[in-house]
Amino acid sequence: MITKTALYLLLIACFTTTTNAQEVIFGSNNYIEYQVGTLPLVISVAHGGSLEPASIPNRTCNNPVFAKDIFTIETALEIKKSLFNATGCYPHIIISHLKRNKLDPNRNLNDGACENGEAIAAWNEFHDFIKEAQDKANAAYNNQTFFVDLHGHGNSIQRIELGYLLYDDELELSDNTLNTTKYINYSSIKNLALNNQNNYTHAELLRGSKSFGTMLSSNNYPTVPSQSIPFPGTNTNYFSGGYNTANHTSYSDGVSINGLQMELNYTNIRDSSANRTAFSVGFAKAIIDFINANFNINWNRCNPLSIEDVILNKFSGFYPNPVHKGAFIYFDFMQNNRYEYTIVNSLGQNIEKGQLWSGERKVNTEKLEIGFYIMQLFNKQRNEVIFKKLIVK
């Protein structure tokens, strides 16, 4: 006869798989993936893929670049988790799984696919999925959608680069100049500059207190442009934006979407699972604060208005998961909280107990065998009980 605890574990597992379900659509040969969301945020990942099918020759047309944006797919998926934790909803995510030597979706069709039939189909699917995602988000949020084309850079300066289709020397121009029609028309946030709920100027949206760059910087991720780093400086190989940003934002005639190209540095962001998870929490807070500050938006059922409470004040998760036996798992919660934890195996047996507090936020898995567990956490002050899956491998 199954025990009450084991039954509860089974129910938790079933609940997790059904309530967190997300529609995923694949293009031909599974080269392109569209994770359908319900937030007013569309994220594309063009250069993180690893597939190298022999049926697609290496690109040779027009001096192609083959550099892979390491761990950008993994970072996007961590961002998805943090946004779900914060809102109960997912962003739209479009991923190319083809390695860049086979396809570059951030180039025009001729340069990106080099006339190969399979590559052409994948290129079209990548961009059609972006358009489909933007149309769905616009319909749900009254054209208040934001687009992020996610990349990773190898520049020596370890900071995030936001590309609004303005060159490095243009960002050095005065606010008055950037606020002229000429430079607003060059911008990937043109529509937002012309119509935002607090009437911020174009320059303020690029590098003011309510800009996305400043909000990322306030979460300890130095970003250009922002209040603290208003322009990148010339000769820094700054990335101002590419094909995706130019064609899927309001820079392009007839497109209502505002957006940018986001180039993530490697150190402290993409270089480890723990850092990707930590960055995803900062990104979630920054993008929600940015949208709340600048868009006149009704969040529908995806309500992040309590973002401080959800992400900072409460337990938000632990990492890495899965974890290698004998390694530490680390916990995210605000310093003034304290949790009692119990690790329960698949038979309903309590394997380990302890306390987590501001000075001790990690647990060694040395006593755990390889397998599946439930981590039960109890916060007495909040009368809060949390159940999380844990996999030891």
Q: Does residue 181 or residue 389 have the better pLDDT?
A: 181
Contact criterion met (CB below 8 Å) for 288 and 328:
no
- Are 174 and 77 in a shared domain? yes
The answer to the question of residue 4 being in a domain is no
3-state secondary structure (DSSP) of residue 41? strand
- Are 345 and 289 in a shared domain? no
- The model's pLDDT over 347-361, given as tens digits with 9 standing for 90+, comes to 888 899 999 886 677
Range of the domain at 328: 314-392
**Residue 9: per-residue pLDDT:** 39
Contact criterion met (CB below 8 Å) for 36 and 99:
no
What's the whole-model pTM score?
Answer: 0.76
* Nearest CA among 126, 100, 123, 112 for reference residue 62: 112
Residue 379's pLDDT band, with cuts at 50, 70 and 90, is confident
What is the total count of domains within the chain?
A: 2
The answer to the question of residue 13 being in a domain is no
CATH of the domain at 378: 2.60.40.1930
Residue 25 has pLDDT above 50, yes or no: yes
Query: 206-244 burial, b for 16+ CB within 10 Å, e for fewer?
Result: bbbebbbbbbbbbbebbbbbbbebbbbeeeeebbbbbbb
Determine which of 26-35, 69-78, 349-358 has the lowest per-residue pLDDT on average.
349-358
Mean pLDDT of the chain, nearest integer: 89
Contact criterion met (CB below 8 Å) for 104 and 321:
no
- Which one of 309, 334, 363 terminates a domain? 309
- Which helix (H) or strand (E) is 364 found in, with range? strand 362-364
The answer to the question of residue 11 being in a domain is no
Structure tokens at 358: 């501001």
Residue 256 has pLDDT above 60, yes or no: yes
Count of helices and strands (H, E) across the chain: 13, 15
Contact criterion met (CB below 8 Å) for 339 and 333:
yes
- Are 196 and 280 in a shared domain? yes
Dihedral over alpha carbons 210, 211, 212, 216 (to 10 degrees): -70
The answer to the question of residue 1 being in a domain is no
Angle CA 24–69–56, to nearest 5: 70
- The model's pLDDT over 180-203, given as tens digits with 9 standing for 90+, comes to 999 999 999 999 999 999 999 999
Structure tokens at 149: 């084309």
- Are 330 and 281 in a shared domain? no
